[in-house]
Structure 1
Amino acid sequence: MAAPVPPAPPPVHAPTAAQAHAPTVVDLPLTGDLPLAADPPLAAGPPSTVPRQGPTRAEARRAAKRRRTPAANPEHLKLARLVPRALVVAFLAGGTAAFVAHDKAVRLDVDGTPRTLHTFADDVTELLADEGVTVGAHDRVSPAPGTGLAHGDEVTVHYGRPLDLTLDGRHRRVWTTAGTVEEALRALGVRTEGAYLSVPRSAPVARTGLTLTVRTERTVTFMADGQERTLRTNAATVHEALAQAGITLEGLDTTSVAATSFPRDGQTVSVLRITDTHEVREESVPYAVERSEDPELFRGIERVERAGRNGVRRVTYAVRTVNGVRQKPRRTAEELVHRPVSRVVRTGTRPRPASVAGADGLNWAALAACESGGRPGAVDPSGTYGGLYQFDTRTWHSLGGSGRPQDAPAAEQTYRAKKLYVQRGASPWPHCGRRLTG
């Protein structure tokens, strides 16, 4: 007998495509009932091949539970679905409000190039960092770095530029945030009215810097040719200012300060008119005296063997005249025209006799006082007689004297007078001879 055929299981319907992509909605329980406990597990064993004839015990229990639970209120179901959505909307709304509160519209001007931007930066330092703007020690930021930012603020950055400035001959390096030469000079307090500028006033000052020469207008006074001239000038040198004053330097002319120097404000410069001439003079060259000892002559006696003669030298002098005033001559050359001739003199070394017999006891001092006033170098007005005892030259030589009597020592003059007395008595002194014995 054939086995009975079991009835076919109910058909299982697969979910549609719309059901597969639909969002999952989780309904939260509105009551405090806990879910039913799961049925205890079945004993292990091979799965049954006999089809179920009806619901299991767990399914029956859950069905009874649903029958006991009142039907859900449609308003409650609607509220359950709205709560999660409201939470999401509230979260998004709060985040958007915070976003709007931190966003600020700020105007940023970097070296003359302005732009408006939105930023979340809290202060100027953070804004510059966000925008990649780097500033150094010579740059100017307004407001200062670290200052807080608010909506509508304006931040200005001016980059520093090196300026190699030569002002009235003095060089220095300065830094400026000015955009043009005129602005930079105004910021430095440099007066530009009537000044010379090596570049135009409107020239821009590049980030890499600029070399600038400025000569301000100054008052300079020149004293030339007996006149005083004052002018306003921005000349670079005294020489250039002279030309502006209509003063010309010729030949050796010069100025009291270097012509290449920078003319200072209030300076007075004298113009020196210079002429140079030469003078030639003949000057005497003194002769030398050559002395030798002669034992035949008494000590203190000198005899001239050869008279001396001066030489002649021709000297050239440079003479400078400054503004008509002659300066001290300056020797530039010399030439010996005639050589000097030395004087040759013999000097006696023979001891002088102590006395002259027949004349030692006389009053020679009284005679000398009467004849010459006691002066060994005395000479009468005619120039014929000289010495203590007024010898004439002929008599003096006859007594062994040399040269002139007034040039001999007093002791030798007395010695020669004694010798004369021995020869002729007191007659050579007709007026004063009696003093010898009186």
Structure 2
Amino acid sequence: MRRGMKLGIYGAVLVGLVGGCVAWTAVDKTVTLKVDGQTRKIHTVADTVDGALASAGYKIASHDVVAPDANDSISNGQTVILKRGRLLHLTIDGTSRDIWVTAPTVADALAELGYSSSSFASVSRDKRLPLDPTTITMRTPKDVTITVAGQPMQVKTTQATVAGLLSQYDIALGPQDQVSVPLTSAPVEGEQILVQRVTTGVIKSTVPVPFGVTSTKDSTLAQGNLKITQAGKPGTATVTYSVVYLDGVIVGRSAQSKTVTSAPVDQVQVVGTRNPAADAAAAAAAAEAAAADAAVAATVTPGSAKAIAQKLLAARGMGDDQFACLVKLWSRESGWRVNASNSSGAYGIPQALPGSKMAAFGSDWRTNPATQIQWGLSYITGRYDTPCGAWGHSQSTGWY
């Protein structure tokens, strides 16, 4: 080949190469990508933002944010920002919701949603959010008042339960302590939580022991009258109680034992039973009966009484000798008067003591000489065998 022709060919090739480089240089662009806060530079021949991102391996999703707009043209040296969307399954104070964010970290996402760092999050705030859905449980701070043993305190909490809240503030519960809300319940904004300390103990107390009263009836004392012959005096006892305290105040107690330390002294009293009206009526009746008895007795002479006695003695097989002794005996005792009486209460011809004994031989014992003599003979024979035996005893002692 001729030299001139060679030079021509070489020239044509060189021109083609130079022209191609100029054309490629005019199409290639250097673009800065900021994806989720991370920066990198790429070379691309794409004409649009979407194409540039695609050339770098990024596909724009519906919840992504890109600037400039995906359909805008791209130029050399331009910066493209892509914030990819993340789905959060949020449960906030028990309420669930799904929300899309473009923040790259948990902390950025929660700040973007308006939750302060004081809110509880079940996932570390330093964690970068993946493109896959993330589940996060949130608890916002609650202002709560806790009153323990009467002392209130204002606190903030993000605890899930009241039990966790009490533990957060080192409030330990005793086995019998009472809490106004269930320990498993969630704290509520503005809630008043009352913790009452329940304890038990033993105390001793001195108590009075009442005295008893012993009453006897006195027919000589008018009704309604009371005569105390021995004053009563209360005793004392020590009682041991099991007690229950609520915040230091006793709310319940039960006696366990009682020991008498000083015995009581009973009161002794006499209660009057005499009815003045009844006494007056009885006195009048007695006076009337006495008058009647006296009237009847006046008709009975000692001689007639002796005659009755002699007959009754004969009926018992006793002769005049025994009758003579009987006459002497009862002449000394009563003078053979049916209404003879003395201060001792003896009454009648035989001076029965008391006179009412003769009622065994008849209800007319006050006025009937036969009734009195029958009782007298029964008494004499039962004790002395014969009237002379009774008279002998009376001679030596002055009574029979």
Tell me the TM-score normalised to structure 1 length: 0.38
Q: Which has the higher helix share?
A: 2
Tell me the TM-score normalised to structure 2 length: 0.41
